[in-house]
Structure 1
Amino acid sequence: MNKFMEMLEKFLMPVADKLNNNRYLTALRDGFMVALPLIIFGSIFVVIANLPFLDRLIGEEAFGTYQGALSSASNATLTIMGLFVIIGIGYKLTQSYEGEAIYGGVAALAAFLILTPQVLEGVEGVIPTTSLGAQGMFVGIFTAFLAAELYQYFTRKGFTIKMPEGVPSAVARSFSALIPMTFTLTTFLVVRIIFDITRFESVQDFIYTVVQAPLTALGAGLPATIVAVLLIQLFWFFGLHGQIIVNSVFDPIWYALANENLLAFQDGEALPHIVSKQFIDSFIVGMGGSGMTLAVIIGIFIIGKSRQMKELGKLGAPAGIFNVNEPIIFGLPIIMNPLVLIPWLLAPVVVAIFTYFTMAAGIVPAPTGVIVPWTTPMILNGALATNSWQGGVLQAINLFIVLIIWWPFLRIMDKQFYETERKH
């Protein structure tokens, strides 16, 4: 066991360190955080607009009017979430270079709009909202990275207009950004013209065909999901925030899948994906935090005889209800504790597989794409994510599965703590 742990530590620590300190992954993660309040706002109104059985209570016509009145909330946020992510990434990446962050953000947005076809069903000057949401997400991410880098490059090279002293600082900064912004956006205009004469006709079609579609298909599958879940658990075991590290890589895929589900849900169509952002957040993380440690807390209350276990349960329970599990991770502890490595790795994988096949069989609906705040307590979390009571029941079953897996290991730990306390 010790040799195995040493091997894992030798392999994982350098990888995690590089991921944590990677400028682009950090900007990607923080860019999504900029958009998160808007995404949650839109999600709340999607839930309100699609309350179960409301159509039967007020009638189809009244229900349609009701949904239409609330649709602007999601259309202005969730449907075009890519725009907010792009601004956030451009802003955060430019900020990491200690540049004028706001200009990096707007340069990224303008560059993306230059690349985006502005034709819808033969009508010029209209941007399809699909290009601003899931389908345009990957183009937006790459564009934001490149636009912010180009803007910073031209700024560092001194291609700026320096205003004389006495000019208001806001005016001076605006003129200073003029030439770098012009060079950056001209570069994207040239790229747009080049793609116009290729068989793809646009950068969006090229990226979607060559990059996004294959990656989305991979991320939507169970094998990639299991790998992601395992990595989250392994990083946490070595004291690294596995959720942040893994999400930095997988979030673009999971959000794109969630957005496709949301569009289908709003149109009353079958949901195309089981795995999405909310599959992970509600049914893997949303049950006490990473590792679903709310089950561990319940096990501690049932099994615990040692004073240490009892106090840990009291300390961890209030936070665990709202999916904050640092008291358990650092108090049990889970970090670098060989006694918990097996249940820590095994339980989330078993739950992921069970949840996937339960949804694939149609017993429980897949997540609708609505983003539920991560602090929402379980049961309610699962019901909101799937727009069904079955989602809450599935979370309860998952919690029981985790408790069964952890049971013998908790008994061993409690016995050790109890014997140590008796000796002292």
Structure 2
Amino acid sequence: MNKFMEFLENILLPIADKLNNNRYLSALRDGFMVALPLIIFGSIFVVIANFPFLDRLIGEEAFATYQDALGPASAATLSIMGMFVIVGIGYSLTKHYELEAIYGGVVALAAFLILTPQVLEGVSGVIPTASLGAQGMFLGIFTAFISAELYRFFVQKNWTIKMPAGVPDAVAKSFSALIPITLTLTAFLLVRIIFSYTPFDTVQNFIYTVIQQPLTALGSGLPATIIAVLLIQVFWFFGLHGQIIINSVFDPIWYTLNDENLQAFQAGLELPNVVTKQFIDTFLVGMGGSGMTLAVIILIFMIGRSRQLKELGKLGAPAGVFNVNEPIIFGLPIIMNPLVIIPWLLAPVVITIITYVAMSTGLVPKPAGIIVPWTTPPLLSGFLATGNAWQGAVLQAFNLLVVTLIWWPFLKILDKNYYENEKKGEGN
């Protein structure tokens, strides 16, 4: 066991360290954090607009009017979430270079809009909403990275307009950014013109066809999801924030799948994807935090005899209900603890398979694309994430039971070990 752990440590820790310190992945993570409050706002109103049986209570015509009134909340946030992510990425990456971050954000957005198709059903000058959401996400990410780097290059080359002393600071900064922004956006305009002479017509069609569709198809499958979940657990075991590391890579895929489900849900169509952002956040992380440690807390109250675990249970329970599990991760502890490595790695994989099978066979509705805040307690989050379906809550309860059974023998051994050591301490 020690040799195996040493092997994993030698292989994974250098990789994780590089991923954590990678400026592009950090900017990508920050971009999604900028968009998150807006996404949650839109998701809340999707839930409110789709209360079960409301159409029967107030009538279909009144229900349609009710939905139309609430529709702009999601249309102005969820449907164009890509724009917020792009601004966040450009801002974060430019800030990393200690330049005027706001210009990095706006130049990223402008570059993306230049590359975005501006024709809808034969009408020019109209940008399709889908291009500003999940469909345009990958183009937006690449555009934000490249535009921020170009802007940095031109600024650091001092290709700027220097204003004389006495000019207000805001005016001086604006003129200083003029040439770098102009050169950056001109480069993207040339790219758009070049692609208009290709079979793809636009850069967005090229990215979507060649990169986004294959990656999304791969990320929506069970094998890739199991690998992602397993890596999250492994990184956490070595004291690294697995969610941050793995989500930096998979979030663009999971959010795209999420948005596809949301659009289908709002249109009353069959949901296309099982694996989405909410598949991970609600049915895995949303069960007490990474590793679904709410089951560990329940077990502590059921079988714990040692004072250490009893106190840990009291400390971790209030936070665990809201999916905050640092007290358990650091107090049990889980980090570098060989006694818990098997359930820590095994339970999430088993639950991933159970949840995937339950949803793909139709026993439980697929996630409806509604972003449920990660602090939402289990059962309620499962109900909301599946479009107000009781089966989502039942699946969470079943998953919690499975995780509890997996952890039972290992926590019993750990508790016995702590209890005997406490007895020895009292004897001395």
TM-score range, shorter chain: over 0.9
Cα deviation, residue 110, structure 1: 0.3
Which residue does the alignment assign to 2:142? 142
Which residue does the alignment assign to 2:392? 391
Distance 2:365 2:241 in 1: 30
Distance 1:69 1:231 in 2: 43
Cα deviation, residue 185, structure 1: 0.1
TM-score normalised per structure 1: 1.00
Which residue does the alignment assign to 1:166? 166
Q: Superposed, which structure 2 residues align to 1:26-105 within 5 Å?
A: 26-105=26-105
Q: Write the letter of the residue equivalent to 1:397.
A: F
Which residue does the alignment assign to 1:107? 107
Distance 1:308 1:86 in 2: 46
Q: Write the letter of the residue equivalent to 1:176.
A: S
Task: Confirm or deny that 1:18 pairs with 2:18.
Answer: yes
Which residue does the alignment assign to 1:204? 204
Distance 2:420 2:116 in 1: 67
Q: Write the letter of the residue equivalent to 1:16.
A: A
Note the aligned Cα RMSD (angstroms). 0.5
Which residue does the alignment assign to 1:184? 184
Which residue does the alignment assign to 1:402? 403
Cα deviation, residue 217, structure 1: 0.1
Percent identity between the two aligned chains: 77
Distance 2:329 2:351 in 1: 19
Distance 1:305 1:23 in 2: 46
Distance 1:151 1:309 in 2: 54
Q: Secondary structure of the equivalent of 1:136?
A: helix
Distance 1:217 1:22 in 2: 26
Distance 1:72 1:237 in 2: 43
Distance 1:266 1:99 in 2: 41
Distance 1:419 1:159 in 2: 71
Deviations 1:193-231 (A, max 9, x none): 000000000001000010000000000000000000000
Distance 1:232 1:57 in 2: 45
Distance 1:11 1:269 in 2: 45
Which residue does the alignment assign to 2:374? 374
Distance 2:366 2:345 in 1: 24
Which residue does the alignment assign to 1:412? 413
Distance 2:43 2:190 in 1: 37
Structure 2, unaligned stretches of length 5 or more?
none
Q: Write the letter of the residue equivalent to 2:423.
A: R
Cα deviation, residue 21, structure 1: 0.1
Distance 1:235 1:151 in 2: 35
Cα deviation, residue 32, structure 1: 0.5
Q: Write the letter of the residue equivalent to 1:395.
A: Q
Distance 2:423 2:33 in 1: 48
Q: Write the letter of the residue equivalent to 1:398.
A: N
Cα deviation, residue 57, structure 1: 1.1
- Runs of at least 4 residues off by over 3 Å: none
Distance 1:9 1:56 in 2: 58
Cα deviation, residue 309, structure 1: 1.1
Distance 1:57 1:80 in 2: 32
